[in-house]
Amino acid sequence: MPKAAAPTGEVVLRFDGVSFEYSNQKPILDDVSFSVRRGAKITLMGQNGAGKSTIFQLITRDLKPEGKVVTDKDASIAIARQVIPRAELALSVRDFFGAVFSDVPRDLDKRIARVLDAVNLEANLDRAVSEFSGGQQARLLLAQALIQDPDILLLDEPTNNLDKAGIEHLVAFLLETDATVLVISHDADFLNSFSTGVLYLDLHTRKVEQYTGNYFSVVKEIAARLERERQKNVRIAKEIAHRKEQANFFAQKGGHMRDVAKKMRDKIDELEDDVVEVRREDKTIRPFTIPEQPDLGRILVEITSLDVMRKTGPAARPVKLEMRKNEHLHLTGPNGTGKSTLLRAIVAGKAAGVKVQDGLKVGYYSQDFSNLDHDKVVYEVLRDEIQGGTDQELRSHAAGFLIDAEIIRTRVGALSEGQKGLVAFARLALTKPGLLILDEPTNHINFRHIPVIAKALDRYAGAMILVSHVPEFVKQIRIDHTIDLGKI
């Protein structure tokens, strides 16, 4: 695979003493300074909730900081968002692209055709955006940014919902483009394929550290630095403990020895000032289980046919499968074959050819979190599911998913996508479903949490239908059946 072109010497973006907070209680950045050179391919890295998407909004001028965010006077900026806002889903493809222009160009259709080809997507321009699959919508979001021909391209989780072919197409584009690119993603292999540098946003110090190199080399450099800081703190802690013992000994002697003890305490203060504030990396969610519904019957799901999307429209394909307790089905296929549509139909009880046992409780992880009530605070969402538990038990359960006292009081709609994902899993663990349906459950999730989630799904003892384009994740889960919608 070719390497990304080296950035030029010209600075195209600069943060100069930037601070930002949403309120006095929620500071995000504190006196941050860094610069990005033209043509660079930069990974924006940091813990969940650290403010990576906020930095994008500061660059696009949607948010106003203290300090200066400076871009080259001739540099244009475009952002490929994580998800299409609900208000835009009813737009036609043509109107979706036209909305980014103050004056819609006469050759809009030609421009649309060019960028759709760049993201490897065929689309009727009169078709509603809502009719496309999650993976196809991800390609539309990228194409909407590309049609603006930006000098600075901001990509927020661009691989979410993309199949293997879509990711390969995106990587090829990033390696070839002359644009300066900043990317937020949890896909380490994807990031390493094109990154020339990393900006690390620290949740606790609210500073941004700048590194040069590909993603894996930077991650290794950060880990080595953390280990050096840890070892230095261990040495300082031992010396402090030793000097405290000496100071206490001399203080008890009285006379001029007390002056010696005072000097030692002054030295202890100096040593304590030398302690390095070691960055606390993301905590990992606690191991959890998703208990299955008790007293399950023999056959939980019977599939005799599945509706599959083809270029000519939906088509029913014969399938013969009976799912029992403790059986896991992996539903695969390229973007646009109707996987998410099928899952939603099963949840709604409207999937032709799929019979779900009467009384079977369905737990659903939606890739767009549409089944979470965005107007409720997190506490209410979890309280609706917990059965007979105390308030303390609920909060303890939430804490296992890194839902702290602040997040639990936050409206779901105000959470980051990663935080919504953790709320969705916390809710599923309380639901006790007999059938678990998961649509791209690794989207937006920090890579540290994925092994914990995979283990919980691997051990789930009810029936499970899983859609995921992440092979490394699927490999960690016991799969009993696989159906490829692209091949049936």
pLDDT beyond 80 at 253 = no
Radius of gyration of the chain (CA): 26
Ranges of each domain in the chain: 11-220, 224-274, 301-484
DSSP single-letter state for residue 89: T
pLDDT beyond 70 at 149 = yes
Between residues 226 and 19, the one the model is more confident about: 19
Span between the terminal Cα atoms of the chain, in Å: 33
In this predicted model, what pLDDT tens digit does every residue of 174-222 receive, in sequence order?
Answer: 888 889 999 998 788 888 889 999 998 887 788 898 998 888 888 788 7
Task: Find out whether 49 and 418 touch, Cβ atoms under 8 Å.
Answer: yes
In this predicted model, what pLDDT tens digit does every residue of 391-444 receive, in sequence order?
Answer: 899 999 999 999 988 899 999 998 888 899 999 999 999 999 999 999 999 887
Instruction: Please tell me the predicted confidence (pLDDT) of residue 247.
Output: 77
Contacts of 52 (CB under 8 A, 6+ apart): 44, 45, 46, 184, 201
Q: Which two tokens stand for residue 455?
A: 């283990």
**Does the CA dihedral 368-374-377-381 come out positive or negative?**
negative
Q: Which two tokens stand for residue 110?
A: 């030609």
Does the fold of domain 301-484 match that of domain 11-220?
A: yes
Nearest-angstrom CA–CA distance, 282 and 121: 36
Q: Which two tokens stand for residue 364?
A: 């659903």
Q: What is the mean pLDDT of residues 436-465?
A: 92
Instruction: Please tell me the predicted confidence (pLDDT) of residue 263.
Output: 75
Nearest-angstrom CA–CA distance, 382 and 428: 9
Nearest partner of 167 among 157, 178, 180, 152, judged by Cα: 157
Q: Which two tokens stand for residue 266?
A: 């002054």
Strand, helix or coil for residue 71 = strand
pLDDT beyond 70 at 8 = no
Give 452's pLDDT tier (boundaries 50, 70, 90): very high
> Which residue blocks in 119-179 are alpha helix, DSSP H?
134-146, 164-176
> Which residue blocks in 31-100 are alpha helix, DSSP H?
52-59, 93-98
Task: Find out whether 151 and 123 touch, Cβ atoms under 8 Å.
Answer: no
Give 5's pLDDT tier (boundaries 50, 70, 90): low
CATH of domain 11-220: 3.40.50.300
Strand, helix or coil for residue 73 = coil
Burial 439-477 (b: 16+ CB within 10 A, else e): bbbbbbbbeebbebbbebbeebbbbbbbbbbbeebbeeb
Nearest-angstrom CA–CA distance, 175 and 187: 17
Quote the distance between the C-alpha of residue 184 and its chain's center: 8
Decide: pTM greater than 0.75.
Answer: no
pLDDT beyond 80 at 37 = yes
Nearest-angstrom CA–CA distance, 407 and 281: 18
Candidate CATH numbers 3.40.50.880, 3.40.50.300, 3.40.50.2300, 1.20.1250.20; the one for domain 301-484: 3.40.50.300
Q: What is the mean pLDDT of residues 353-377?
A: 93
Determine what percent of the chain is predicted with pLDDT higher than 70.
94
Q: What is the mean pLDDT of residues 33-41?
A: 93
Beta-carbon count within 10 A of 259 CB: 10
